Amino acid sequence: MLSVTFLGTSAARPTVERNVSAMALVREGETLLFECGEGTQRQMMRYGVSFALSDIFITHFHGDHYLGILGLLRTLGLQGRSEPMRLYGPRSAKRVLGAALTLGSERMPFEVEIVELAPGDAIQRKDYDVVAYATEHGRASIGYAVVEHQRLGRFDPDRARALGIPEGPLWGRIHKGEAVEVAGRTIRPEELVGPPRPGRKVAYPGDTRPCESVVQAADGADLLIHEATFGNEEKDRAKETEHSTAAEAAQVALAARARKLVLNHLSARYSADAQVLLDEAKAVFGETVVARDGMVLEVPFRDE
């Protein structure tokens, strides 16, 4: 299972309806946290996101995206955590996050590693990568794409039985690409296994102007989570502040051939009613929804 829980969907400051930026991606039981605005640990408790996580990814160092890290880590320490935590961010992460962790008199009871990433860097895991890419929001900002590896093709159990291959270890060996001998005959994987199937991709640029690097990183994404700080009436302000309008976010989704777009990081003026943003985006890209705090989206495989 792959799902995304939106913990904070407001831009710059919290509102009654929306907290500041934070999002949890849960993949096969593993939780990755993207952004950690103030109060994130309470949002995690409120919306049932596990504290059993080891990775926090920050896109840039405006306060509404990272000031909740100290509170979250203090909460984890008070709960007896001893496992290390990894914090990822763009250039200057060690300086900014390192300074934040020194606030207060309490000593962190577990190791905290700070890792700086540049566009093109990839954190490689067993079945997926987290890839950093360039965005346009200040001198040091990056986005992240969670990209699953290719999956094995579909195995045909009916044909396997018809060929007299007993169910069990031989099926597994064939499915993994190994030829086997059955009754003097060599059975090759291509006889029973279809072509490799793509994994899923979730692209999260953070705060940014619409730009080609985001389009490329989100190419074919199953889910693009793009900021939509403003509506069309504030397009000049969006440009001045290096943010995007809802329509611009939709244009990125269209250019990237994404399957679904989520509008995120909304200005306080749209906090209670974001219909105008949704309408402007859907006029460009139909598969669009507006994020809200507590919303959970599942990301299915394309062949399901």
**So which residues are the catalytic ones?**
64
Q: Report phi then psi at 55, rounded to 5.
A: -135, 125
**CA 263 – CA 227 distance, rounded (Å):** 6
Distance CA 280, CA 119 (A): 30
CB atoms within 10 A of CB 45: 11
What phi and psi, each to the nearest 5 degrees, are found at residue 205? -80, -15
Smallest CA-to-CA distance from 126 within 24, 3, 27, 5 is with 27
Q: Find the Cα–Cα–Cα–Cα dihedral 217, 220, 225, 230, rounded to 10°.
A: 80
Angle between helices 93-101 and 69-78 (to 10 degrees): 50
DSSP alpha helix (H) spans, 5-68: 40-46, 63-66
Quick one: how far is CA 198 from the chain centroid? 17
Going by their DSSP bridges, the two strands 85-89 and 142-148 should be labelled as unpaired
- Decide if 192 contacts 156 (C-beta within 8 A): yes
